[in-house]
């Protein structure tokens, strides 16, 4: 009887101990899981032209230039097991380089839980490098040396960027609005829209997506637009002045500007449909090529 009671009490104690240990072990995990999204907000004093690098797995990224010599970062993560590291150099005084990187702390975190949405206000003179695997990237009002944006399938939108602008997205659409520096857009299946460009050097290339150029050409500018099967549409004002060099292997060419045709020897592209000519004084050079996409050049209504 005594032994059975002692055994019972020992059993109860052991059970309580096991439960306590289990609670201690499991509770932080449960709390962590219940903690929901994380948030990082930080303001850094910078030079007028800091270099900012952002590497993110998934989420929306917005970067806007402002007149302050400060970088203000707000990042919201979907899971507390995703963290955003901010590394600033030099560590004292005005910051010249900032690196933001998303890390997944738990390898079991996948899919939407990897999401980190980030909004950055940066000095207008900042240079930028953004790599966001999934999720839209929006960049506005930057005049720094360069802005490099890369994504797997996200939409990339850049407005009023004055430096060398490069955007690459495998499957996402790219839209440049009023770029004034050199601009390069590359996609495989996404479409590219170039609106009111003020660039003197602009290149766009996509395979199956469409390219739309809407705006005037800058004198002495070079514009190279190329697709494989996607259509190219150029819509410019009747006052535009350009030298057109359009060719396609199998696609169609459609031009409603009355060009002054150049005299030239037979084309080295025997099977290509080609169109060469000058409109007005031919200040800018416009090269349009496709394999099978339709090329259309027309004035703005």
Partner 1 sequence: MLGPGHKPPQPDRAQCRQFDQDLPAYLEGVETPAVLKHVRECSSCAVTLADLEQIRFVSRHLPLEDPPARVWANIRARLAEEGILHEQVPAWHRWFNRLPLVSESVPVGALAGLAILALTLLNSPQGFESPGTLDALSGNPQVVTAGMMSADFDASMTRTLTEMEEAYLGRESSMEPTVKETYRRSLDCLDANIAECLRHCRRDPRDALARQYLSRAYQSKAEVLTSALEFDRP
For partner 1, the binding residues (CB under 8 A) are: 89-93, 110-111, 133-134, 148, 150, 152-153, 166, 168, 170-171, 184, 188-189, 203, 205, 207-208, 222, 224, 226, 228-229, 245, 247-250, 264-272, 276, 285, 287, 289, 291-292
Residue 139, Cβ neighbours under 10 Å: how many? 25
With respect to partner 1, which residue has the nearer C-beta, 100 or 286? 286
Q: Whose Cβ is closer to partner 1: residue 120's or residue 275's?
A: 275
Our CB check for partner 1 shows the closer of 141 and 210 to be 210
Cβ 113 to partner 1 shortest distance, Å: 11
3-state secondary structure string across the chain: CHHHHHHHHHHHHHHHHHHHHHHHHHHHHHHHHHCCCEEEEEEEEEEEEEEEEEEEEECCEEEEEECCCEEEEEEEECCCCEEEEEEEECCCCCEEEEEEEEEECCCCCCHHHHEEEEEEEEECCCEEEEEEEECCEEEEEECCCEEEEEECCCCEEEEEECCEEEEEECCCCEEEECCCCCEEEEECCCCEEEECCCCCEEEEEECCCCEEEECCCCCCCEEEEEECCCCEEEEECCCCCEEEEEEECCCCEEECCCCEECCCCCCCCCCCEEEEEEECCCCEEEEEEECCCCEEEEECC
Token code pair at residue 160: 């009023």
Q: How near is the Cβ of 114 to partner 1 at its closest, in Å? A: 8
CA angle 184, 287, 150 (to 5 degrees): 15
Q: In 10 A of CB 279, how many CB atoms?
A: 23
Measured from the CB atom, the residue of 141 and 213 that comes closer to partner 1 is 213
For residue 136, the minimal CB distance to partner 1 (Å) is 14
Nearer to partner 1 by Cβ, of 132 and 141: the residue is 132
Residue with Cβ nearer partner 1 (141 or 253): 253
Backbone angles phi, psi at 21, to 5 degrees: -60, -45
Calpha distance 115→182 (Å, rounded): 32
Least separation in angstroms between CB 219 and partner 1 = 14
Choose between 157 and 290: whose C-beta lies nearer to partner 1: 290
Which residue, 28 or 107, is less far from partner 1 as judged by CB?
107
Q: How far is the CB of 280 from partner 1 (least distance, A)?
A: 17
| Residue 112 Cβ vs partner 1, minimum distance, rounded to whole Å | 10
Q: How far is the CB of 121 from partner 1 (least distance, A)?
A: 25
Minimum separation from the CB atom of position 200 to partner 1 (A): 12
């Amino acid at each position: 009887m005594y032994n059975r009671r002692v055994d019972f009490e020992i059993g109860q104690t052991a059970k309580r101990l096991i439960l306590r240990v289990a609670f201690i072990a499991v509770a932080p995990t449960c709390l962590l899981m219940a903690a929901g999204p994380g948030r990082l907000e930080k303001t850094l004093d910078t030079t007028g032209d800091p270099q900012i690098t952002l590497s993110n797995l998934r989420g929306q990224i917005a970067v806007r230039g402002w007149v302050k010599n400060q970088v203000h970062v707000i990042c919201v993560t979907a899971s507390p097991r995703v963290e955003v590291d901010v590394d600033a150099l030099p560590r004292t005084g005005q910051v010249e380089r900032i690196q933001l990187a998303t890390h997944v702390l738990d390898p079991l975190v996948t899919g939407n839980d990897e999401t980190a949405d980030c909004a950055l206000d940066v000095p207008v003179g900042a240079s930028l490098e953004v790599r966001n695997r999934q999720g839209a990237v929006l960049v506005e009002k930057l005049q720094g040396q360069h802005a490099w944006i890369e994504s797997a399938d996200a939409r990339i939108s850049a407005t009023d960027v004055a430096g060398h602008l490069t955007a690459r997205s495998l499957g996402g659409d790219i839209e440049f609005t009023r770029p004034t520096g050199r601009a390069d857009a590359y996609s495989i299946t996404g479409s590219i829209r170039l609106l009111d460009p003020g660039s003197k050097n602009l290149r766009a290339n996509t395979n199956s997506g469409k390219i739309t150029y809407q705006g005037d050409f800058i004198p002495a500018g070079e514009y190279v637009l190329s697709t494989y099967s996607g259509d190219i549409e150029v819509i410019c004002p009747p006052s535009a002045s350009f030298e057109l060099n359009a060719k396609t292997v199998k696609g169609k060419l459609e031009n409603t500007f009355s060009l002054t045709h150049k005299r030239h020897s037979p084309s080295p592209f025997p099977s290509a449909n080609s169109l060469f000519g000058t409109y007005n004084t031919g200040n800018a050079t416009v090269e349009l090529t496709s394999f099978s996409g339709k090329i259309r050049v027309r004035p703005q209504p």
